[in-house]
Amino acid sequence: MKAIAVVVGTVLALFPNIRNLAGLLYRLDPDLERSVCRNLACSEELLLASAERLAGGSREDAAVALENLEEALRRNVASPYRWSDVGQALLSAGRIEEARYCFMRAVELGPQIPAILWRTAQFYIQVHEPNRSQQYMGKMLELLPEYKELVFDAYFSNRGDVSDTLEHGFSPQSPLAKDYFRYLLVHATPQDVKKAWDWLNSHSIADDRLAGEYVDLLIKKGEYLLAVETWRRAAGHYDNAYLEPNLVFNGDFESQPLQSGLDWRFPETPGVVIKRDSTAAFSGSSSLQIEFDGERNIDFRHLTHDVVAPPGHYHFRALVRTSELTTDQGIRFRLVDSSGRLNLETTQFTGTHDWTPVDLDFTLAGPVRLLRIEVVRQPSAKFDNKIRGYAWIDSVSLVRL
């Protein structure tokens, strides 16, 4: 039988066109395949194909598969793929330390090959070493960032400590850590999100935009006090008066509104242009300008600012300036809360006015709540109802008395 196996293997090596026939013969007679490959007469291609067929079989089949893979490695010892093939077979046989060595060699020979890094990461998952697994996934992620969802799913399904994942799964200062934080905003518990946020801050990776997204989540979850503290730590350097005493962030418009978190928001709106204006100000150097183009009878409520307010007595103040603001419906401020229990409005402004204060005093009872400050203009019922002109706002404050 041994002689036959050698002859068959030699013929296959000399005449590659016969290999398809050999594959059929092997499927019909597995003993022939074992004998041929055990005597090292297979081509590398047949060694690998044989190992793949035998890997899921009996213990004897698995042993032959490992022999075939080891022979393929002997013939191509510089191949990281052959080292990882043998490593996987050794792992299946329970020979963990030998498998570990094989994967180490695979990575040494193919440090920039994503498939090798991925297979090595899977090995460490199987031997319950998540930090090592994440290191190799992170290396793969740097090479193939388009696969970040796949890797993020793998990180998250591991259910390990989120700080460890960020520490080991990303290279220092990697922008992909921010993307993983956004993934956690959708999938993780609030506790894990906070832990991830603290990690990003400690590594100087967090930025204003990310802080806004995190604060938005906290507000959505009703974590108002944590939202305020997070915003103060992240963006407070823009406004030294924030919370001390003014609850309105950037009420003087001395910095460009971030349009997220607890700052001013104004999406693009047809018929209106809103921008920071450094040529007109009541205090400081800037105000916020609102320009209506005269083409619409607009229902305007698109300039907003959210404020977290504990129970207490409050005074609201803002300065308003207008220039040739047409129609009988001008602009005003409105203060509302999410519960619908508070709905207050200031007097409105039309025509032309120099800087004029508007004030409101009110009391809040009950739990901490979210207030929304809106600049609004109601549609006019008049024939000449398309609003044109300019308005500026500045020195907006909400102070607890």
CATH number at residue 315: 2.60.120.260
Please answer whether residues 9 and 36 qualify as being in contact, where contact means their C-beta atoms are separated by less than 8 angstroms: yes
Residue 238 lies in a domain: no
- Looking up tokens 């009872």 gives 365
Please answer whether residues 168 and 134 qualify as being in contact, where contact means their C-beta atoms are separated by less than 8 angstroms: yes
- In three-state secondary structure terms, 132 is helix
Question: Which residues, 6+ apart, have CB-to-CB distance to 271 below 8 Å?
Answer: 292, 293, 295, 296, 298
Cα(217)–Cα(219) distance, rounded to whole angstroms? 5
Cα(333)–Cα(301) distance, rounded to whole angstroms? 10
Residue 151 lies in a domain: no
Residue 343 lies in a domain: yes
Cα(397)–Cα(371) distance, rounded to whole angstroms? 13
pLDDT at 96: 96
Tokens of 239: 């406004």
Domain end call among 75, 94, 111: 111
Residue 18 lies in a domain: yes
Enter the pTM of the model.
0.80
Cα(102)–Cα(134) distance, rounded to whole angstroms? 18
Cα(5)–Cα(36) distance, rounded to whole angstroms? 4
Domain count, the chain: 2
CATH number of the domain enclosing 79: 1.25.40.10
pLDDT at 231: 96
Q: Which amino acid is at 344?
A: L
Residue 287 main-chain phi, psi, to 5 deg: -140, -175
Please answer whether residues 362 and 354 qualify as being in contact, where contact means their C-beta atoms are separated by less than 8 angstroms: no
Q: Compute mean pLDDT per 10 residues along the chain, 401 residues long, and list them.
A: 43 42 44 50 68 71 82 90 93 94 97 96 94 95 94 88 94 90 95 95 92 96 95 93 95 95 96 96 96 96 96 97 97 91 94 98 93 97 96 98 94
pLDDT at 119: 96
DSSP sequence for 198-220: HHHHHTT---HHHHHHHHHHHHH
Which ranges of 241-359 would DSSP assign to H, the alpha helix? none
Q: Which helix (H) or strand (E) holds 384?
A: none
Domain end call among 111, 142, 169: 111
- Tell me the residue length of the chain: 401
Residue 2 lies in a domain: yes
Range of the structural domain that residue 42 is part of: 1-111
Domain end call among 82, 111, 140: 111
Residue 125 lies in a domain: no
Residue 290 lies in a domain: yes
Residue 286 lies in a domain: yes
Please answer whether residues 364 and 293 qualify as being in contact, where contact means their C-beta atoms are separated by less than 8 angstroms: no
The DSSP 8-state label assigned to residue 48 in this structure reads H
